[in-house]
């Protein structure tokens, strides 16, 4: 979701919590967005959540049920870290 009228340089956000400043639209990697949480994982690449065998929504629902409060637009890595902490695994 990148708007043509956007001012450059601009921040853009990728899957797995990545972010960066780009000088023009041609520099922005495929799947990245101008709004946090709206990036998509490009086909052929995997999210860090794939190792858990759950979708982002399933992971957020499980964390919410366990009493962990996170914003919906947090990075996948933050979700993984919360899942690890919840499971007692501190092997980051």
H or E, element range at 4 = none
What pLDDT is attached to residue 91?
A: 59
What pLDDT is attached to residue 2?
A: 47
**Separation CA 80–CA 53 (nearest Å):** 11
**Separation CA 29–CA 38 (nearest Å):** 13
Domain range list for the chain = 8-45, 46-87
**pLDDT tens digit string along 30-78?**
888 888 777 666 666 677 787 778 888 888 899 999 999 887 777 788 8
């Amino acid at each position: 979701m990148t708007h043509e009228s956007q001012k450059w340089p601009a921040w853009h956000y990728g899957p797995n919590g990545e972010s960066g400043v780009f000088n023009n639209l041609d520099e922005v990697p495929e799947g990245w967005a101008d709004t946090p949480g709206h990036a998509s994982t490009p086909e052929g690449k995997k999210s860090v959540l794939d190792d858990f065998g759950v979708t982002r929504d399933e992971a957020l629902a499980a964390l919410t049920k366990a009493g962990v409060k996170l914003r919906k637009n947090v990075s996948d890595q933050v979700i993984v870290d919360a899942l690890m902490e919840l499971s007692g695994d501190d092997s980051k």
